[in-house]
Amino acid sequence: MLEINDLHATVGGKTILNGLTLRVGAGEVHAIMGPNGAGKSTLSYVLSGRAGYEVTGGTVTFEGRDLLALDAHERAAAGLFLGLQYPVEIPGVSNLTFLRTALNAQRRARGEAEASGAEFLKLVRTEADGFGLSMDMLKRAVNVGFSGGEKKRNEMVQMAVLAPKLAVLDETDSGLDIDALRVVADGINRGRSPARSTLLITHYQRLLDYVVPDFIHVLVGGRIVRSGGPELAHELERDGYVSMAA
């Protein structure tokens, strides 16, 4: 589904990604772990097409298409979703308006029929209930006045409604208490299917107690220095990243 080969990228003229290679198959969950400054968030921004992140070498293909040749909105329409470490507030735009606009924009881009009001409300109610968000909260402006946990649950509702083929989740566990972490992890697990792949970016092993990945990759100095199974997270928790960088 996703193939990254020898990817190099800079931010503000500084090299952050330095020959990163990764393959994520259909239906797989991969976790990216690494210290601060390793390039984890940069990878997520490069994949999503965020401005200011310049690719200087390498290739990225998504379902056989050149991902780097697509604009950010085209990547979203193709089925890529980015979960932010710090979800932004959008004053004046309700969650319901935001979600319906995004869903129908993607459907139009794919040549699909737009969701009717009734179809959309049924879908969003079902997904919101699963993450403990009331309709009153969905009528409020996007993330405005939400706690950290509520913002992350709201983002999980967005992901469930948009049903991406590839979800890139940048430190989704950041700032969550244990109850919110379990709710978010449950949502990620419910979304696992042969048609969806997930790239989890995290500092810590605790999320991986609830979402068991197929593979874990250690990112240090802008490249993957080691890959393994779920047991690798426990090794990192015990020994840290210093031994990996050696």
The topology under which CATH files domain 2-245 is Rossmann fold (3.40.50)
Domain locations along the chain: 2-245
Q: Which residue has the tokens 């772990």?
A: 33
Supply the pTM of this predicted model.
0.90
SS3 27: coil
The Cα 77–Cα 72 span in angstroms is 9
- Which pLDDT value is given to residue 72? 93
- Which pLDDT value is given to residue 245? 57
Per-residue model confidence as pLDDT tens digits over 143-179: 999 988 889 889 999 999 999 999 999 988 877 888 8
Would you say residue 186 has pLDDT above 90? no
**Contact present, 16 and 1 (Cβ < 8 Å):** no
- Which pLDDT value is given to residue 25? 95
Per-residue model confidence as pLDDT tens digits over 84-109: 888 899 999 999 999 999 999 999 99
pLDDT band at 5 (very low <50, low <70, confident <90, very high): very high
SS3 218: strand
pLDDT band at 244 (very low <50, low <70, confident <90, very high): low
Mean pLDDT estimate for the chain: 91
Bridge pairing between strands 197-202 and 166-170 = parallel
Share of the chain above pLDDT 70, in %: 98
Share of the chain above pLDDT 90, in %: 67
Q: Which has the closest alpha carbon to 167: 57, 31, 22?
A: 31
Select the more confidently predicted residue: 241 or 39.
39
Per-residue model confidence as pLDDT tens digits over 16-64: 999 999 999 999 999 999 888 889 999 999 999 999 999 999 999 999 9
The Cα 194–Cα 197 span in angstroms is 8
Q: Stretch 56-77: mean pLDDT, rounded?
A: 95
The Cα 240–Cα 234 span in angstroms is 10
SS3 93: strand
- Which pLDDT value is given to residue 124? 94
**Contact present, 191 and 211 (Cβ < 8 Å):** no
Q: Which has the closest alpha carbon to 83: 166, 1, 25?
A: 166
Joined tokens for residue 92: 């004046």
